[in-house]
Amino acid sequence: MGCNLARVIGESRGNVVLRRKQYRIAEDERASAAVARNFVIGKLYNQKWMLERMTRDYPQRIDIEKFKTVSGQLSTAMQEARECEDLELLRGLEGSAAYSYFRLFDEMILQQKEEFEFRGRSRRPPLDKVNAMLSLAYTLLANDVASALEGVGLDAYVGFLHRDRPGRASLALDVMEELRGVYADKFVLTMINKRLVGPDDFWQKENGAVLMRDEARKNFLSAWQSKKQEKITHPYLGEAISWGLVPHAQALLLSRYLRGDLDEYPPFLWK
């Protein structure tokens, strides 16, 4: 997933009560599903928003019927997720929706189409320029989310949707699901469509892996930092915050849910 990047975090608050609650829920499949389904719903909702935005803004440049079909599939998947109490079924819904969404991703690339052709997700290693950027953006987002979770006293390595795996920040991956489309994917599409990155910014290793050149990666990271400064209105809190604070807002909302201050975890539903 791109280069390995360090995370700068402050001293963990070590909220023992909060973490014990987190661990108890993580051991309970039904309780985990109650949290996990909102991560999935958030992801599906925001992917649907991405598709509907394309049909509204670029009706002459995409296959509208295909976009409407997948948008309908995402709506159905959201309804199923709301009633789902089984983690494996939730993971299946998320995986199926991601496959359908990424089948349309190439059509969302409006500029430099020949140079940035996208045929599907490839991760380790990324096998084309678009996947190289997606992997780097997801790495950056995962690090930001993990830092936010640890900042409110949660354990970023114990998740509800993603199973525990040595060295994997499972809870960070959980929370970032709802932010992938409207934060990371949209950022990558903007970089391509505004020609902030070009085909010469990449090179290919002997094993087929495609990587960004050093200068291009610096520009990518600089643009990411600029993106984090952009102001938005948080859809749940109704307050003006920067994109960079969205992971912290979601981490705080998750901690409030786990403490019992909220009836359910409110996912980030972009509008």
Q: Is 88 one of the annotated binding-site residues?
A: no
DSSP 163: P
Residue 267 lies in a domain: no
Residue 125 lies in a domain: yes
Q: What is the largest CA-CA distance in the chain?
A: 55
CA 128 to chain centre: 20
By percentage, how much of the chain surpasses pLDDT 70?
95
Burial of 10 (0-12, 13-18, 19+ CB in 10 A): exposed
Residue 265 lies in a domain: no
Residue 129 lies in a domain: yes
The model carries a pTM of 0.90
Q: Domain tally for the chain?
A: 1
Q: Is 94 one of the annotated binding-site residues?
A: yes
CATH value at residue 43: 1.20.120.920
Residue 266 lies in a domain: no
Handedness of CA 198, 7, 158, 36 (dihedral sign): negative
Q: Is 248 one of the annotated binding-site residues?
A: no
Q: Is residue 31 within 8 Å of 76, Cβ to Cβ?
A: no
Residue 9 has what pLDDT? 45
Give the model confidence (pLDDT) of 4-48 as tens digits: 444 444 444 448 899 999 999 999 999 999 999 999 999 999 999
Residue 24 has what pLDDT? 96
pLDDT band at 251 (very low <50, low <70, confident <90, very high): very high
Radius of gyration in angstroms for the set of CA atoms belonging to the chain, rounded to a whole number: 18
Q: How far apart are CA 107 and CA 14, in angstroms?
A: 46
Residue 271 lies in a domain: no
Residue with tokens 């002997």: 206
Residue 115 has what pLDDT? 92
Which residues lie below 8 Å from residue 148, measured CB to CB, with a gap of 6+? 175, 247, 248, 250, 251
- Please give the average per-residue pLDDT across 54-60, as a whole number: 93
Give the model confidence (pLDDT) of 223-250 as tens digits: 999 999 999 999 999 999 999 999 999 9
Backbone angles phi, psi at 212, to 5 degrees: -80, 145
Beta strand 202-204 with 231-233 is unpaired
Residue 9 lies in a domain: no
| Tokens (6 digits) for 236 | 């749940």
Enclosing domain of residue 181: 16-259
